[in-house]
Amino acid sequence: MESKLIVIAIGGNSLIEDSKHVTVYTQYQAAAKTAHHIAKLVKAGHRVVIAHGNGPQVGYILRRAEYSKKILHPVPLDSCVADTQGAIGYQLQMALDNEFIQMGIEKSVATVVTQVEVDAADPSFLHPTKPIGSFMTEEDAMKHVKYDNWDVVEDAGRGWRRVVASPKPRRIIELDTIDKLVGAGVIVIAGGGGGIPVVRGEDGLLVGREAVIDKDLAAALIAKHLKADYFVISTAVEKVSLNYGKPEQKDLDTISTDEARRYIEEGHFAPGSMLPKMQAMVDFVETTGNTGLITDPAHIYDSLYSAAGTRIVK
């Protein structure tokens, strides 16, 4: 296969292999496993842009802020996203650099701290629904409502949680920079955590907003604008399935965007799991006419060269 431009979105949870034993080093080890399969694509001559999730990692930052709130200032959510872009980008850079050394290839890797413009009038700002951070008592939740202007909800009897907006990504601010780096042969890590949410004021200036952008939708936006040949979403399963976890479960090999839409309408995909991935894939494939792939980290390379993963075509 001749050189292709491949945008790969990996989940923040894929960096957490054991939720009971989480350290920075164990997250690096998980990143290194994914990096190995991505490096194989680079060795095969492909250009790669990597986006990643950050849900658990932002949760850790918010929990630390909660514990230290009596002695340190709070960290706004947009800054938390920026923090994770740097930290996870660093781990992926190191892991890829080490893989390239072992494979005997010379490639540069760069992380771009990425702002993503959203609409200040996005409906999600009026009706926040995305839970973030740890559980709280009702008393603590009401204090945050009063003093920090948080939106909170009671979560199925497990406690109270903060909820934030999840606006649709509209524009990648650093897209030209990403494009130039790719053109120069650099492996780029960008759009981490869906990007840092920013809005543009009437004066044309940008300002950060406390929100969470879906990582897969932001990665699809990058893939569309770069006209990627392949858009790959790495998740917990090798293939997308219908009736997942049931006796009649059926794994999907290759499906059209029309079939994907029908499965979405039939409710086969969970809103907090596979649904946004399928929506992002349909958007990318229909816009570009190119191919989308959903698989797990271990089959990223094989999904391009064999029957691994689920392939979405126009």
pLDDT at 20: 81
Catalytic residue among 195, 277, 290, 309: 277
Please state the pTM of the whole predicted model. 0.91
pLDDT at 67: 85
Catalytic residue among 54, 192, 193, 215: 215
CATH code of the domain occupying 5-115+186-313: 3.40.1160.10
pLDDT at 100: 98
pLDDT exceeds cutoff 80 at 1: no
Mean pLDDT of the chain: 92
Q: What is the mean pLDDT of residues 168-185?
A: 97
Catalytic residue among 130, 133, 194, 290: 130
In DSSP terms, 112 is beta-bridged to 190
Number of other residues whose CB lies within 10 A of the CB of residue 21: 8
185 three-class SS: coil
pLDDT at 74: 84
- pLDDT tens digits, 32-51: 999 999 999 999 999 999 99
Rounded to whole angstroms, the Cα distance separating 169 from 81 reads 15
Q: Where are the beta strands (DSSP E) in 181-309?
A: 187-190, 196-200, 206-208, 230-234, 241-242, 250-251, 254-256, 291-295
How many Cα neighbours within 13 Å face the side chain of 277?
30
- To the query of whether residue 183 is one of the catalytic residues in this protein, the response is no
List the strands of the sheet with 310-313, edge to edge: 109-112, 187-190, 47-52, 5-10, 230-234, 291-295, 310-313, 254-256
pLDDT exceeds cutoff 90 at 272: no
pLDDT at 208: 97
Catalytic residue among 11, 12, 55, 89: 12
Q: What is the mean pLDDT of residues 284-297?
A: 96
- pLDDT tens digits, 52-111: 999 889 888 988 888 898 899 888 999 999 999 999 999 999 999 999 999 999 999 999
Give the residue from 272, 309, 10 showing the smallest Cα distance to 129: 272
pLDDT exceeds cutoff 90 at 265: yes
Q: What is the mean pLDDT of residues 150-167?
A: 87
Q: How far is CA 300 from the centre of its chain?
A: 16
- pLDDT tens digits, 229-246: 999 999 988 999 998 888
- To the query of whether residue 107 is one of the catalytic residues in this protein, the response is no
pLDDT exceeds cutoff 80 at 19: no
pLDDT exceeds cutoff 90 at 129: no
Q: What is the mean pLDDT of residues 108-132?
A: 94
Question: Beta strand 5-10 with 230-234: parallel, antiparallel or unpaired?
Answer: parallel
pLDDT exceeds cutoff 80 at 14: no
- To the query of whether residue 43 is one of the catalytic residues in this protein, the response is no
- To the query of whether residue 13 is one of the catalytic residues in this protein, the response is yes
Catalytic residue among 4, 13, 59, 159: 13
Q: What is the mean pLDDT of residues 255-270?
A: 93
Helix, strand, coil share (%) of the chain residues, nearest 5: 45, 25, 35
Which of 120-124, 235-239, 288-292 comes out lowest in average pLDDT? 235-239
- To the query of whether residue 12 is one of the catalytic residues in this protein, the response is yes
In DSSP terms, 256 is beta-bridged to 313
pLDDT exceeds cutoff 90 at 205: yes
Rounded to whole angstroms, the Cα distance separating 123 from 183 reads 37
Q: What is the mean pLDDT of residues 201-212?
A: 95
